[in-house]
Every structure is written in structure tokens, then in C-alpha cells.
């Protein structure tokens, strides 16, 4: 495997009170690779992503992007360095147009011509958004809003993207479209770290996967190997949403 773009070592994270929800997580993601984290509700999957992105009250360990530590940077500086995070909750600006939402994705870009170039490149990737660029984002379906969030993130041209439950609340047909977009991002060279409850579809779209239990990674392997793992199938593929 090629050298890691995103590497996490010894990550512990929590929200105060002395109890760490994430306890010593090590993981890495290479360029062009999708790594998916699965686990039961309450295992700490979302906290891993928030801990990486400096969004938890307590955290220890290290996070490196292309070999350089970004652990102590605030989230917006991590984004500037090339690490993006798309949370589970929709984060579009409903009262702004699609075009305005995309422009907001480049709020850290001071060069107006570079911003215009980036937005044009992203719009070419998402024609369904481009056709409706003057409409308010509130008019989009749930799946289209997720596409807009991904498109807006790409305006910063990140090296690595973390996604928390990208398929949540979406119809099965739209889920397939979202995973196809994520797969396309990896094929374009992005490093993707994904948390997902739709285990079968997520593993089918991924290169590697890990199982998180009570804040610790208990199992890591190629995604295809985990699809055939009896324990994974019994514990996670029968879960609601793992169609």
C-alpha cells in the first residue's frame, strides 16, 4: 500500500468528566483508498472523527497529514492543510442558493480567480447541482443535499475527507449514488475515511475496514475479507439500515 495521507496514532477522545469514549485508536488512509469504520451505536465511531478534527473537549495522541502533525491545529486550519470533515447532520445553508453554498465552501480561499476555477471544476463533477445552481439549497432532496455537502467540501481540494454516515436517511437508490460519488473521489486520489451504518454497501465500496467496539479497534482487514467474516455478518449486517 502507498504511504498514508492521513495517519492517526494513539487517539483518545472524550467530552469531559474524565471518561474517554475513544481509547487508543490507530489507523491510516492512503491516497485513493476508502477506509470504513463500522460498529454498534455508541461504539465511539463519530467521536473518532471529531477527535481527529479537534472537536472534542479532551483528546490525546497524534494526527498526521502527509507526514506532518496537524493534531493541535483548530479545525479550520486542518481544512486549510487539506483535511475535510462532513458530519452526519446536514450542514447546507438552506436559505442560500446552490451557487452560494459552493462559494461558502471556499471561504478560506483569498484568490478569487482560484475560487472561481475550483467551483467550476466541482460544478463539472455534479451536473445535477449545476443545472439548479440558482435555486435555494432548501429545495434539494436529502440525497441532493448530501451531494451539495460533498461538492462544497471539494472546493477546498482536500487531500483527505472524513464522512460521518453519508447514507443516513437516504432512499436505497440515492445511497448507491452517494457511494458511487465517494468511490469516484477515491479514484481521483482522495483519501477517504468513512463511518457508516449501512455495512454491506459501505464494505462493498471500501478498500479496507475496521470494527470499533467500546472505543477501540478490535478488527482491521480488507473490506472484502470482512464481508465474508461470520462475526461481522452476525453482529453488523443484520442491523437496521444494513440493507
Percent of all residues in the chain with a pLDDT value above 90, rounded to a whole number: 77
Tens digits of residue pLDDT in 62-75 = 999 999 999 999 99
Cell output for 67: 507526514
Provide the phi-psi class of 153: left if phi over 0, else alpha when psi is between -120 and 50, else beta: alpha
Residue 164 contacts residue 195 (beta carbons within 8 Å): yes
With 0.85 as the threshold, say if the pTM is over it: yes
C-beta of residue 211 within 8 angstroms of C-beta of residue 226: yes
Strand partners, 7: 28, 64
Task: Tell me which residue of 88, 22, 63, 55 sits closest to 160, measured CA to CA.
Answer: 63
Q: By the 8 A CB rule, do 29 and 83 touch?
A: no
In the chain, which residues have pLDDT < 70? 1-2, 237-243
| Interatomic CA distance for residues 161 and 172, integer angstroms | 23
* Rounded CA separation 87/85 (Å): 6
Give me the domains of the chain, ranges plus CATH numbers: 4-89+160-236 (3.40.50.300)
CB 199 within 8 A of CB 242: yes
What's the pLDDT score for residue 239? 44
Tens-place pLDDT, residues 163-198: 999 999 888 888 999 999 999 999 999 999 999 988
Amino acid at each position: 500500500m502507498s504511504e498514508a495521507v492521513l495517519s492517526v496514532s494513539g487517539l483518545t477522545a472524550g467530552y469531559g468528566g474524565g471518561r474517554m469514549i475513544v481509547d487508543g485508536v490507530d489507523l491510516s488512509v492512503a491516497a485513493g483508498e476508502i477506509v470504513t469504520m463500522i460498529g454498534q451505536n455508541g461504539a465511539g465511531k463519530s467521536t473518532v472523527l471529531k477527535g481527529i478534527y479537534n472537536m472534542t473537549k479532551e483528546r490525546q495522541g497524534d494526527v498526521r497529514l502527509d507526514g506532518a502533525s496537524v493534531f493541535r491545529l483548530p479545525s479550520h486550519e486542518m481544512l486549510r492543510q487539506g483535511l475535510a470533515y462532513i458530519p452526519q447532520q446536514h450542514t447546507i445553508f438552506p436559505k442560500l442558493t446552490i451557487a452560494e453554498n459552493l462559494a461558502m465552501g471556499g471561504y478560506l480561499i483569498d484568490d478569487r480567480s482560484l475560487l472561481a476555477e475550483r467551483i467550476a471544476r466541482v460544478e463539472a463533477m455534479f451536473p445535477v447541482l449545476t443545472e439548479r445552481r440558482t435555486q435555494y439549497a432548501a429545495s434539494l432532496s436529502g440525497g441532493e443535499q448530501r451531494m451539495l455537502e460533498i461538492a462544497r467540501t471539494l472546493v477546498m481540494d482536500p487531500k483527505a475527507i472524513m464522512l460521518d454516515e453519508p447514507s443516513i436517511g437516504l432512499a436505497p437508490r440515492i445511497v448507491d449514488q452517494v457511494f458511487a460519488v465517494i468511490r469516484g473521489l477515491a479514484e481521483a486520489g482522495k483519501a477517504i475515511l468513512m463511518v457508516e451504518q449501512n455495512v454491506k454497501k459501505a464494505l462493498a465500496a471500501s478498500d479496507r475496514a475496521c470494527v470499533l467496539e467500546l472505543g477501540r479497534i478490535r478488527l482491521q482487514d480488507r473490506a472484502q475479507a470482512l464481508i465474508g467474516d461470520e462475526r461481522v455478518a452476525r453482529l453488523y449486517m443484520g442491523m437496521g439500515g444494513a440493507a
